[in-house]
Amino acid sequence: MTGVLDGVRVLDFGRYIAGPYCATMLGYMGAEVIRVEKLKGGEDRYVYPLYHHDDGSEGEGSLFNQVGTNKKSITLNPTKPEGREIVKKLVATADVVVANLPAPAMKALGLDYDSLTATKPDIILASISTFGPTGPYANRGGFDGIGQVMSGAAWFSSGGEGPVKSNAPFIDFGTAVITAYGTLAAIMHHRATGEGQEVGGALLRTGLTYMNGLLMEQAVLDMNRQPTGNRVQTSAPSDIFATSDGHVLTHIVGDGLFANWARMIGEEEQWVNDPRCRSDQSRGDNRDVICQRMADWCATRTTDEVIALCEEFGVPAGPVLNPQQALDDPQVQAMGDMVQMDLPGVHKPVPVMGPPVHLSKTPGTIRERAPQLGEHTEEVMTELGYSAADMAELCEKRVI
């Protein structure tokens, strides 16, 4: 099936998640993505290793095998003059460059927008940083957690024992998706005008976007809300509750759902007519009383019983699953988003998440597994006009 980005070439100079997954999003839609990494491989290649080599060294990790799908891999040292020349030749063939590096590193490697446009005036640069190009922190590097803690997200997630950072790197993945969205818009503009441009993503910007509702409230009303962990402050009963054999989450918003909840626990008249429960916010203000009632109700029932009753009464709920339970869940399996892939060195098929969005006419796809280190170096270098002798010399010089 033809992808909407067939014919688009993307150079992926990304590391870890935000940059690489941005390129992966474009690859899902048919773009040719060439991952350019260090001769020994990027550090992100070995996060959560799925196997070990005979010498005990770590093999490719699960994170790389997710964000590396549909990509070719070449190894290159762009700090050497010959490497910089190869970068220029690659850029001349490309439509998009993706990189998530601090501004000084981008410039040193010739990946800043001015350097790229000197080689290809209509190039699109998708640059991702921690703080964006301006301000006192512009040249600092960083990771997902910095976006979490500096946006207020980690502080507000505290349950009373200090700030809590989510283990799921949602700032990284969110920044990747947002930047891919911007890159698609830039590609559309290029097709209409022939002009390239720079697309800028930033981890802190993503965090501020996610937290903007609370930040606006603070700016206007000076609320100074205090963290309440899993317990939502603007509705109730919205929290994680212990059952007799596990935990469930309910999130109840709106008068209709609240009435459904009260009916489910057999106390509709009591709660619906209670003046403390007249609106979502008033229920949020009295969340401790309402949530305690839900906690008592859940404590005497199994997780399956709670979920079944919530479904019967139209109350949104979900069980708290560990990773194996998530893999085994019938809904997860029925959605079919995980592609079982055979990967080099791994003794069993690996469930790799496919595109996180479905299109009915032009769906994104996983066409190829993540590449081995340098698997396509010879192919790409040959296309650029390098002979076998040239490549041997460059290998000797540790350029490729």
The residue assigned the tokens 């995980």 is: 338
Does 180 lie in the same domain as 48?
yes
- What are the φ and ψ backbone dihedral angles of 96, each rounded to 5 degrees? -140, 140
C-alpha to C-alpha distances, 104 to 83, 100, 108, 109, 353, nearest whole angstrom: 18, 12, 6, 9, 34
| Domain termination residue (choose one: 259, 284, 319) | 319
The b-or-e profile of 201-232 (16+ CB within 10 A means b, else e) is: bbbbbbbbbbbeebeeeeeeeeeeeebbeebb
Does 384 lie in the same domain as 268?
no
Query: Would residue 46 count as lying in a domain?
Result: yes
Instruction: Band the pLDDT of 1: cuts 50, 70, 90.
Output: low
Does 71 lie in the same domain as 14?
yes
CATH number at residue 60: 3.40.50.10540
Does 251 lie in the same domain as 297?
yes
Does 142 lie in the same domain as 13?
yes
Return the axis-axis angle of helices 203-210 and 170-193, rounded to nearest 10°.
Answer: 110
Query: Would residue 230 count as lying in a domain?
Result: no
pLDDT of residue 105: 86
Decide if 261 contacts 250 (C-beta within 8 A): yes
Instruction: Band the pLDDT of 161: cuts 50, 70, 90.
Output: confident
Query: Would residue 124 count as lying in a domain?
Result: yes
Query: Would residue 99 count as lying in a domain?
Result: yes
The pTM (predicted TM-score) of the whole model is: 0.94
The whole-angstrom distance between residue 20's C-alpha and the CA centroid of its chain comes to: 10
**185-208 pLDDT, tens digit each:** 999 999 999 999 999 999 999 999
**324-375 pLDDT, tens digit each:** 999 999 999 999 999 999 999 999 999 999 999 999 999 999 999 999 999 9
Query: Would residue 233 count as lying in a domain?
Result: no
| Domain termination residue (choose one: 260, 293, 319) | 319
- Number of domains observed in the structure of the chain: 2
pLDDT of residue 43: 87
Query: Would residue 326 count as lying in a domain?
Result: no
> What is d(CA 5, CA 9) in angstroms, rounded to the nearest whole number?
9
pLDDT of residue 248: 98
| Domain termination residue (choose one: 288, 319, 350) | 319
Query: Would residue 235 count as lying in a domain?
Result: no
Average pLDDT of span 240-263? 97
Nearest Cα neighbor of 98 from 175, 191, 192, 194 is 175
pLDDT of residue 91: 97
CB atoms within 10 A of CB 151: 23
Does 182 lie in the same domain as 69?
yes
DSSP-derived 3-state class of residue 52: strand
The b-or-e profile of 260-269 (16+ CB within 10 A means b, else e) is: bbbbbbeeee
CATH number at residue 272: 3.30.1540.10
Does 169 lie in the same domain as 32?
yes
**14-67 pLDDT, tens digit each:** 999 999 999 999 999 999 999 999 999 988 999 999 999 889 889 999 999 999
- Alpha helices by DSSP H, the chain: 18-28, 62-67, 81-93, 103-108, 113-119, 144-150, 153-156, 170-193, 203-210, 212-221, 255-264, 268-272, 280-285, 287-299, 303-313, 323-328, 330-335, 377-383, 388-396
Sequence-distant (≥ 6) Cβ neighbours of residue 229 within 8 angstroms: 157, 158, 159, 160, 164
Q: CA angle at residue 120 from 101 to 176, to 5 degrees?
A: 35
| Single-letter residue type at 305 | E
Does 26 lie in the same domain as 159?
yes
**282-320 pLDDT, tens digit each:** 999 999 999 999 999 999 999 999 999 999 999 999 999
Does 176 lie in the same domain as 35?
yes
Calculate the average pLDDT of the chain: 95
Domain that holds residue 185: 9-210+336-396
Decide if 158 contacts 226 (C-beta within 8 A): no
Instruction: Band the pLDDT of 237: cuts 50, 70, 90.
Output: very high
pLDDT of residue 326: 97
Does 314 lie in the same domain as 278?
yes
pLDDT of residue 336: 94
Decide if 16 contacts 56 (C-beta within 8 A): no
pLDDT of residue 101: 85
pLDDT of residue 103: 84
First to last CA, the chain: 34
Does 53 lie in the same domain as 18?
yes
Average pLDDT of span 380-396? 96
Does 361 lie in the same domain as 283?
no
pLDDT top residue among 123 and 58? 123
Query: Would residue 221 count as lying in a domain?
Result: no
pLDDT of residue 265: 97
